[in-house]
Amino acid sequence: MSDHDDVEIIPAGTDTSTPGSDDADNTAEELHGMVEQPAKVMRIGTMIKQLLEEVRAAPLDEASRARLKDIHRTSIKELEDGLSPDLQAELERLALPFTDDSTPSDAELRIAQAQLVGWLEGLFHGIQTALFAQQMAARAQLEQMRQGALPAVMNPGPESQTGHGQYL
């Protein structure tokens, strides 16, 4: 070996990660912590969005408004089961309940449903952003591992210009 070799031998099992290289793991944990039951949240979100479209499209009588009020309340409770405590608290603050003594108007139902759909879309965008960040961190970590696994390219000095034959 010449003085130009920059090869570092690292024993197996040694942590070669750099600070911040486990960002992908942290992001995955954050995602799991935010939405504990993602499939359930997605199903309820899709249902709520469809209900909003129905509320916008047709006039509602008192019985249908009462039913939508119950569906809205039940949907929020079901959503909370799939969310982290922080997101549950945020949803409770934003989704003000209807009063028990009266049936909400068409406009009140539209506003409540639109607010919930908007909140869910924001949640989904946040999840997508976190997933993108996780993928980027994983790619960066993989690239670091690839660069660390490849031997350093040596620039031949003037003393190595003499021919050594075909193989080295």
Q: What is the pLDDT of residues 26-60, one digit of tens each?
A: 555 565 567 888 888 889 989 999 988 988 888 88
pTM above 0.85, yes or no: no
User: Looking at this protein, which amino acid is placed at residue 55?
Assistant: V
Could you tell me the pLDDT band of residue 127, with boundaries at 50, 70 and 90?
Answer: confident
**114/98 Cα distance (integer angstroms):** 15
> Could you give the CA distance from residue 29 to residue 31 in angstroms, rounded to a whole number?
5
Q: Give Cα separations from 18 to 26, 85, 94 (angstroms).
A: 14, 32, 40
> Terminus-to-terminus CA distance in the chain, angstroms?
13
Contacts 24+ apart (CB under 8 A), 48-57: 48/75, 48/113, 48/116, 48/117, 48/120, 49/117, 49/120, 51/113, 52/110, 52/113, 52/114, 52/117, 55/106, 55/109, 55/110, 55/113, 56/110
Average pLDDT on 7-26 reads: 47
Q: Give the pLDDT confidence score for residue 148 in this predicted structure.
A: 77
Q: How confident is the model at residue 8 (pLDDT cuts 50, 70, 90)?
A: very low
Contacts of 121 (CB under 8 A, 6+ apart): none
